[in-house]
Amino acid sequence: MTDPENLRQTVLERLSKVIDPETGVDVMRMRLIEDLAVNEAGHVTCKFRPSSPLCPIAVPLSLEIQQAIASVEGVTGQEVEIVGLMLGDELMAWLKKAMDGE
């Protein structure tokens, strides 16, 4: 059993090291991550809201966010929803395949 609040804090700290290459500011300070939650099983859910609907770096930034979450010890799974992006559903499907190694 994992302490969800401690794991959540560790995930937030790790995400604060993910830097938006266009601005040089981390995704937490830019408030690009919303509704981050961790359950007792260590499953993380959150929303990633790119800085614009046509954000040119949404794909690599999404991958970096997911890799950052996955790198935290105690995380057993994750679901990152991309919101406010043109073709966001298609991007989420592609990213799921990429993270699953397909």
Name the residue among 65, 58, 64 with its Cα closest to residue 36: 65
pLDDT digit string, tens, across residues 23-49? 999 999 999 999 999 999 999 999 999
How many domains, the chain? 1
pLDDT at 1: 53
Give residue 60's domain range: 4-99
What's this model's pTM, rounded to 2 decimal places? Answer: 0.83
Q: Secondary structure of the chain: what % helix, strand, coil (to 5)?
A: 35, 20, 40
CATH number of the domain where residue 19 is located? 3.30.300.130
pLDDT at 96: 74
Q: Return the bridge partners of 20, or none.
A: 25
pLDDT at 94 over 90: no
Which token pair is 22?
């266009």
